[in-house]
Structure 1
Amino acid sequence: MTTHLPQFNRALLHPRYWLTWLGIGLLYLVVLLPYPVIYRLGCGMGRLAMRVMKRRARIAHRNLELCFPEMSEAERQKLVEKNFESVGMGLMETGMAWFWPNWRVERWFDVSGVEPVKALLAQKQGILLIGVHFLTLELGARIFGMHTPGIGVYRPNDNPLLDWLQTWGRLRSNKTMLDRKDLKGMIKALKSGEIIWYAPDHDYGPRNSVFVPLFAVEQAATTSGTWMLAKMSKACIVPFVPRRKPGGKGYELIALEPECQPPLGDAEETAAWMNKVVEKCILMAPDQYMWLHRRFKTRPQGVPSRY
């Protein structure tokens, strides 16, 4: 499969990138520390970030208010605080995903549910691997790729250095990467019996979206990409959840049961079904989901903003 991925070049050593290199170096040094120390540093950094990132804290609070109106204010506030601890850990886990050797990743992970995935791949069955936006996303993709290497779908970073680094890090345990706009490339890979990592849970704007329920929100803009990919490729759909165990005791990656006959009547039907799957995944680790994203920013025409 031909794809044009960013390569390291001498231009990335230009002084304009020195501050970024410094940050990368510091992250590399931090993730050399024992994991319990990393855990304490990450959670502490997240609590500090909550005081600084006040706008994002309000967005997270509002998302929880919209999704779980029955939740008490005290419960909601506590969940936001835990979520920001996960934000801090998310940075650490990105460094762990990019820089840790395989043996160290495996030491801290319990993995379940991947055998059915391997069996499908052995039959040359394409798999649409649904990875919702947990803050453990990078580390989860690394461990899944160590068991069943596949193809990542991503948005190129505007910073050329970070674009190269994230590609290098993700290719440590996967075959290649595809731009999230490359629908033809994804369909071709799925038809060839590959595994494609795909995240259908964010608000990607009005284009190619439909309005279907998500938790208590009746009209959540949801990508129709799942419907197009599954319908055109006949892929099986496999959701997976990488979640952090309480108290810094490591991680578990759980692949849910494959669905090889998803509802594909139309984009709305598939999106509504997919959101039910997303809900199930989120509820397995609600404090570790990316609530900071304005998930409900796109509204039907004439309907006021929720933020």
Structure 2
Amino acid sequence: MSVTEPASPPPDALPVTLKPSSAHLLRVVGTPPGRVVGFLTRFVWAFLTWLSPESRDALARFFGNLAYSLGIRRRVALENLAMAMPEKSDAERRDIARGAYINMTRVVLESLPSGDRLPKDWAEQGLEGEEAWRALKARVDTGKGALLVTAHFGNWELLGEMLIRRGVPMDGLVRPLKGALNTRIAENRVRMGAGLIYPRGAIQEIIEAVKRGESPLMLLDQALPAKSAAFVPFFGKLASTTPAMAVAAARTKAPVFVVMAVRNGRGGARFRMEVEGPILPPTPGECADPMTEHTARVTAALERCIRKHPDQWMWLHRRWKVQPPSEAALPAGTTPPPPASDAPPAG
């Protein structure tokens, strides 16, 4: 179901003026770029800001197609797709993989410019999951925080800005990355009003953010070392996944919602939000491992969205590279996913 978000207050009226703190950014991104690199990249940022959205999208399509044609991690993407979607033909999987490359370059080029990075009519694109959105908004409007989960899908960077402009105080869980590109993205995150949570001590920071009425947003679609992971079904195969969301949910009793920024319309430069939730943990005594089961339920919601728009997910990542210990099995109480051939067709 698709609805248009009410226009009070108007999204464009919300300020996005928070000045980034150099000390805080240093903690998040590591060592900023050197003086020469920083000087040169400022010209690149200015050029990208000057380009029209249509020109940036054409540039993204060019570089995305180029990367795919050059075979950069193409084998990884196609192997992932062959495992996850065996019902698709080779040609269909190649088209999905090419789309994933284009989406990645779009994310980079859309995320770098300063100022208003969302299309002027972004709020008119509406959202899917009206009931879930109302449940989330009702909670934050009463000063209570929720736990938000997303994936490297659509444009996860602009998703944070969309949430903030729709009135959801948001904190992004980020990893320390280096270089001019990552520094710029981190600066934009802070400038738009998002809080940043560093991985070390993240659970306690998440708990404190929820107590303040803020909603931490975390990505739940990357592999973790086996000793730190919960292994949950993802496209019919166990994937190592962080249990941080489930741990935070158990400690805060905050509801969990999956939120995704889905590309919508011709050119890929418009977005709508898809919201699902609250995704509840198992009841006491329902299963032997409630943390893993809760993680599995949220991961299943991510998979449902990715299946509908497979070319918008990052198939270039080795999602299944970490093998579960020999004693690992499907979480107690979890119904194994159907074979890929029985899954609903991707949109």
Q: Which runs of 5+ in 1 are unaligned?
A: none
SS of residue matched to 2:261: strand
Equivalence for 2:121: 107
Distance 2:187 2:250 in 1: 31
Question: Within the alignment, does 1:48 sit opposite 2:63 as a pair?
Answer: no
The size of the alignment, in residue pairs, is: 291
SS of residue matched to 2:230: strand
Equivalence for 1:172: 191
Task: Kindly provide the CA deviation profile for residues 63-111 of structure 1, in whole angstroms up to 9, marking residues without a partner as x.
Answer: 1111112211111111111211212212212124xx1326x54434524
Which amino acid in 2 is paired with 1:223?
T
Deviation at 1:21, TM superposition (A): 4.0
Question: Within the alignment, does 1:139 sit opposite 2:158 as a pair?
Answer: yes
Equivalence for 1:33: 51
Task: Kindly provide the CA deviation profile for residues 145-195 of structure 1, in whole angstroms up to 9, marking residues without a partner as x.
Answer: 222231111011133x55543322002223421113321111121233211
Equivalence for 1:222: 241
Question: Within the alignment, does 1:194 sit opposite 2:214 as a pair?
Answer: yes
Shift of the 87–203 alpha-carbon distance from structure 1 to 2, 3 Å rule, reads same
Residues 49 and 84, structure 1, Cα contact 8 Å, conserved in 2: yes
Residues 191 and 234, structure 1, Cα contact 8 Å, conserved in 2: no
Instruction: Pick the aligned partner of 2:83 from 58, 66, 70.
Output: 66
Task: Kindly provide the CA deviation profile for residues 106-138 of structure 1, in whole angstroms up to 9, marking residues without a partner as x.
Answer: 434524254442211122332111111115111
Deviation at 1:302, TM superposition (A): 6.6
Distance 1:42 1:27 in 2: 15
Equivalence for 2:303: 279
Which amino acid in 1 is paired with 2:172?
G
Deviation at 1:144, TM superposition (A): 1.8
Distance 1:180 1:140 in 2: 20
Question: Within the alignment, does 1:185 sit opposite 2:205 as a pair?
Answer: yes
Residues 145 and 209, structure 2, Cα contact 8 Å, conserved in 1: yes
SS of residue matched to 2:143: coil
CA RMSD in angstroms, aligned pairs only: 2.7
Deviation at 1:13, TM superposition (A): 9.1
Greater CA drift, 75-84 or 141-150: 141-150
Question: Within the alignment, does 1:23 sit opposite 2:47 as a pair?
Answer: no
Structure 1 length as normaliser, TM-score? 0.84
Identical positions, percent: 25
Greater CA drift, 251-260 or 194-203: 251-260
Distance 1:24 1:74 in 2: 40
Deviation at 1:47, TM superposition (A): 0.3
Distance 2:191 2:32 in 1: 22
Shift of the 144–28 alpha-carbon distance from structure 1 to 2, 3 Å rule, reads farther
Equivalence for 1:295: 319
Distance 1:86 1:36 in 2: 14
Shift of the 211–7 alpha-carbon distance from structure 1 to 2, 3 Å rule, reads closer
Q: How does 1:202-281 map to 2 (within 5 A)?
A: 202-217=222-237, 219-248=238-267, 250-259=269-278, 261-263=280-282, 266-281=290-305
Shift of the 63–191 alpha-carbon distance from structure 1 to 2, 3 Å rule, reads same
Residues 226 and 325, structure 2, Cα contact 8 Å, conserved in 1: no
Shift of the 291–20 alpha-carbon distance from structure 1 to 2, 3 Å rule, reads farther
Equivalence for 1:77: 94
SS of residue matched to 2:227: coil
Which amino acid in 1 is paired with 2:149?
I
Task: Kindly provide the CA deviation profile for residues 254-285 of structure 1, in whole angstroms up to 9, marking residues without a partner as x.
Answer: 24143163336522211221221111121232
Residues 148 and 218, structure 2, Cα contact 8 Å, conserved in 1: yes
Which amino acid in 2 is paired with 1:291?
W
Residues 276 and 301, structure 2, Cα contact 8 Å, conserved in 1: no
SS of residue matched to 1:171: helix
Q: Which runs of 5+ in 2 are unaligned?
A: 1-20, 328-347
SS of residue matched to 2:315: coil
Distance 1:300 1:13 in 2: 36
Residues 32 and 178, structure 2, Cα contact 8 Å, conserved in 1: no
Structure 2 length as normaliser, TM-score? 0.75
